[in-house]
A and B are shown apart, each in its own frame.
Chain A
Amino acid sequence: MSPNKFFKHEGPWSDANDPLMCSDTGDWRTKRPVVDKDTCIFCGFCAIYCPIQVMEMVENSHFTPDLAFCKGCGICAKECPKNAISMIAEGDF
């Protein structure tokens, strides 16, 4: 069942039971966060502060961004206490 228990339609015209709208926000990115697995201490700060909540846990070992939607804001890199994340220009990939 949809978690939308209270209204059938969540706006006057939109229906939350249909597939959700989703933009390819990964395409907005000019810089890509790259995590150095060995420097990462698995503290999770990048994950809690990421506005899009796209930092995913990998094998209880480190975090990695979902690049399909990461907008490249750089908050994760800025907030990482170990500087384990580098922001690299998209043109370099």
Chain B
Amino acid sequence: MTGKKKGKLTKVLDYLKHEDPFSKGVAFCPGCGLELLLRFIPQVLGNDIVITGTPSCSAPVLLGQNNQSWHTLSYFGTLMTGAAANATGLARYYRKAGIKNTVVCFNGDGTAADIGFGNLSGAAERNEPFIYICYDNEGYMNTGVQKSATTPYGASTTTTPFGTASKGKNLRRMNLALKMAMHKIPYAATATLSDLGDLAKKLLKAKEAKERGFAFLHVFAPCTTGWGYAPENTIEVCRRAVKTNYFPLWEAINGKIRMTKTVKKPKPVSTYTELMKKFAHLNEADLQILQDDVDYEYCMLGGLSTLEAECHIPESVED
């Protein structure tokens, strides 16, 4: 309207085709990555999704309080132990009843990687037709920042505190997304909040893939409160996680892995850890252990994404 110079509106806005079903004032910390993710998903996938999930930071908002709700989506609250089994029941009911919709099983890493992993793996193996989204804040945030299987080496949490007897988690993290891709499901992918166009594409691919069976998204969603960084840095934390290959972006169709973003000159992992208090105590030797783990995982992904040259990869065995 005015005469001043304008850039182009970001294309990400084109993916936001549906209303934000949440009320404007909801109970997430300022700068919470999970809040952005939760508002983003239905704006891309539509408001006719059924979300199901477990006790976690997402639950107080998804489940509602007193007699009221914070949003207009359909939500089914489950136990941490059986999230994917409950989603299986929902998805099978809708399929049997001939109701077309999308079941989204939405959980933190505590549920996905630890407490509810068995039935997640089972649902993937049976190729149940729903989308499972794990928002990874690398720990049990709602109960006060305990470590989970996806907590990285060296991170200080309340169960792996930095102090005289402990230097943070003394184990390397488990690669949940890779483990899920190895179920050879129709779709598995990693995504994060700095690359929202990539996230939107992967959400739409997951919705399409769930017509053929299980779809899994692993979304890196930083937690300002539990990780100890300034709230304004949430997107920067994601960006640096990608630029250091700490959290590489890839997708796998029927188990066949493809990088969706390659970083030309990956930065040292210290450019990522320096943003956060949970890593503040790491010395050079500790950082090297974390760096070696990042390099090893990336190397492994690289190998898996270029397997065609070496072996025949079966497409899928669907009818």
Count chain B residues whose beta carbon lies closer than 8 angstroms to a beta carbon of A.
60
Q: Are A2 and B31 in contact (CB under 8 A)?
A: no
Can you offer 27 A-B residue contacts whose CB atoms are under 8 A? A5-B48, A5-B74, A10-B71, A10-B73, A10-B74, A14-B68, A15-B69, A16-B73, A18-B67, A20-B70, A23-B26, A24-B25, A25-B26, A42-B6, A44-B10, A52-B26, A52-B39, A53-B20, A61-B2, A61-B4, A68-B25, A73-B231, A73-B234, A75-B31, A77-B232, A78-B233, A78-B235
Cβ contact of A11, chosen from B13, B31, B64, B101, cutoff 8 A: B64
Q: Chain B residue with minimal CB distance to A42?
A: B6
Q: Chain A residue with minimal CB distance to B231?
A: A73
Given A5-B48, A14-B67, residue A49 in contact with residue B9 (CB < 8 A): no
Q: Are A51 and B6 in contact (CB under 8 A)?
A: no
Q: Are A41 and B7 in contact (CB under 8 A)?
A: yes
Complex CA gap A73/B225 in Å reads 12
Residues of A within 8 A of B235 (CB): 49, 75, 78-79
Q: Chain A residue with minimal CB distance to B200?
A: A48
Q: Does A12 contact B (CB under 8 A)?
A: yes
Q: Are A2 and B72 in contact (CB under 8 A)?
A: yes
Q: Are B1 and A61 in contact (CB under 8 A)?
A: yes
The 6 closest A-B pairs by CB, nearest first: A14-B64, A74-B232, A73-B31, A71-B30, A21-B68, A20-B23
A interface footprint on B20-56 (CB within 8 Å = 1, 0 otherwise)? 1111111110111101100100010001101000000
Residues of B within 8 A of A73 (CB): 30-31, 224, 231-232, 234
Given A23-B27, A52-B24, A59-B1, residue A43 in contact with residue B7 (CB < 8 A): yes
Given A4-B73, A51-B35, residue A20 in contact with residue B8 (CB < 8 A): no
Complex CA gap A43/B9 in Å reads 4
Q: Does A6 contact B (CB under 8 A)?
A: yes
How far, in Å, is B98 (CB) from chain A's closest CB?
A: 14
From residue 15 to 71 of chain A, which have CB atoms closer than 8 A to chain B?
15-16, 18-26, 28-29, 38, 41-45, 47-54, 59-61, 66, 68-69, 71
Cβ contact of A3, chosen from B32, B36, B72, B77, cutoff 8 A: B72
Chain A residues with CB under 8 Å of chain B are 2-7, 10-16, 18-26, 28-29, 38, 41-45, 47-54, 59-61, 66, 68-69, 71-75, 77-79, 81, 87
Tell me what chain B mostly uses at the interface: helix, strand, loop, or mixed: loop
Residues of A within 8 A of B72 (CB): 2-4, 10, 16, 20
Chain B residues with CB under 8 Å of chain A are 1-2, 4-10, 12-13, 16, 19-28, 30-33, 35-36, 39, 43, 47-48, 50, 63-77, 99, 101, 193, 196, 224, 230-236
Residues of A within 8 A of B234 (CB): 51, 73, 75
Q: Are A19 and B68 in contact (CB under 8 A)?
A: yes
Complex CA gap A2/B67 in Å reads 17
Given A3-B73, A21-B69, A79-B235, residue A49 in contact with residue B5 (CB < 8 A): no
Residues of B within 8 A of A18 (CB): 67-69
Given A11-B75, A16-B72, A73-B231, residue A43 in contact with residue B10 (CB < 8 A): yes
Cβ contact of A51, chosen from B25, B39, B77, B230, cutoff 8 A: B39
Complex CA gap A87/B30 in Å reads 14
Q: Chain B residue with minimal CB distance to A20?
A: B23
Given A2-B72, A7-B76, A21-B69, residue A69 in contact with residue B24 (CB < 8 A): yes
Q: Are B64 and A23 in contact (CB under 8 A)?
A: no
Residues of B within 8 A of A15 (CB): 67-69
Residues of A within 8 A of B1 (CB): 59-61
Complex CA gap A35/B9 in Å reads 17
